[in-house]
Amino acid sequence: MPFRHYIRAVTTPSPLPDPRVRPQGTPGVGGLVDRHGRTATDLRVSLTDRCNLRCSYCMPPEGLQWLPKVEQLTDDEVVRLVRIGVEHLGIREVRFTGGEPLLRPGLPGIVAAATALRPRPEVSLTTNAIGLSRMAPALAEAGLDRINVSLDTLDRQRFKELTHRDRLPDVLAGLQAAKDAGLTPVKVNAVLLRGINEDDAVPLLEYCLEHGYELRFIEQMPLDAHHAWTRGEMVTAEDILARLTAAHTLTPDVEERGAAPAERWLVDDSGLTVGVIASVTRSFCGACDRTRLTADGQIRNCLFAREESDLRSALRGGADDAEIADRWRIATLSKLPGHGIDDPSFLQPSRPMSAIGG
């Protein structure tokens, strides 16, 4: 489906189940429990679908048709939904993402409101770090706990080709500023693409070891706007580990992984770890504890979900907190057991990663 048509298709509210039927896990109180026994406690909030980079695995060079402002949640609406998640639904972690969340003018205020909630959730940010050198102190002041910065290469020309913008120095300055502001441990997310930046794996690891950043490689997923991903072309966790172990000694980290998506290894005797998020080849859906809120107020149970539940209409239609919480619980029930990428019937979601919130 062409991107410009997805908005109408996905904002049609999914039919709500008969409210007289109360399947297990759908009481008027309680957490976000699905029919497969998982409880979502980690909320990913997309603050905008816009971005100032054009990473080739995420967005086309010409950009996308952005959400009209009126469809985007206001800062107050975002904060209200986060509060309902924390106070009524057991959300314990909140990560702000996008698009590029640093483009949202109200970000420090939203972070401050989230960290003021009780019980206090852990609050983090995923960003491309453009503008972070300026904003890191304000975000630390607002109580932000942690930050993940996306960086796929240390080669300026390659960065420009991959993202269609010559901004590598800004990203490196942003990383340093995050560390200086105490937003530690600073994590770096890298996606490797076959024939483009595979050989950045070891230099990225060495750069992160030198600066004390925790590097995590993410397998490329079928979430690009132009639907160009193929299973045969993607760089797998196995490929990544082969490159890393040719240059360094990796020892499996024995720390309990829980619902964390990254498998981690200790690197040499540095005391630092490297992680691999093998969403495609070693999926971890059985332990998934996530729920997602898009910038236009839709709940998604999964990056790959083909259904969304509209909380924005409820918010703007005057629903009270208990009613919104109930809608969110009901939306969670239908979370599928897995992403199904390897299923022959798999269909890529119509929203690309930048419009879902990675």
CB of 152 to ligand SF4, least distance (A): 9
**Amino acid present at 128:** N
Task: Give the residue carrying structure tokens 């939904």.
Answer: 81
Give which of ligand SF4, ligand SAM, none residue 186 binds (C-beta under 5 to 8 Å, depending on kind). none
Q: Which of 34, 93, 100, 296 binds ligand SF4 (CB under 6 A)?
A: 100
Cα 79 from Cα 109, distance rounded (Å): 9
Task: Give the residue carrying structure tokens 């595979």.
Answer: 198
C-alpha pair distances (Å), 229 with each of 134, 224, 238, 306: 35, 7, 18, 18
Give which of ligand SAM, ligand SF4, none residue 220 binds (C-beta under 5 to 8 Å, depending on kind). ligand SAM
> Which residue number, 325 or 353, has a Cβ lying nearer to ligand SF4?
353
> Which residue number, 93 or 224, has a Cβ lying nearer to ligand SAM?
224
Check binding of 197 to ligand SAM (CB under 6 A). Answer: no
Q: Which of 25, 31, 85, 99 binds ligand SF4 (CB under 6 A)?
A: 99
Cα 89 from Cα 128, distance rounded (Å): 30
Neighbours of 24 (CB within 10 A): 9
Binding positions for ligand SF4, 296-355, rule CB under 6 A = 354
Cα 287 from Cα 293, distance rounded (Å): 19
Check binding of 153 to ligand SAM (CB under 6 A). Answer: no
Check binding of 265 to ligand SAM (CB under 6 A). Answer: no
Rg (CA), the chain: 20
CB of 225 to ligand SF4, least distance (A): 9
Q: Which of 67, 73, 147, 223 binds ligand SAM (CB under 6 A)?
A: 223
Check binding of 131 to ligand SAM (CB under 6 A). Answer: no
Task: Mention every residue, 6+ apart, whose C-beta is less than 8 A from residue 57.
Answer: 191, 193, 220, 224, 229
Positions that interact with ligand SF4 (CB under 6 A): 51, 53-55, 58-59, 98-100, 128, 150, 354
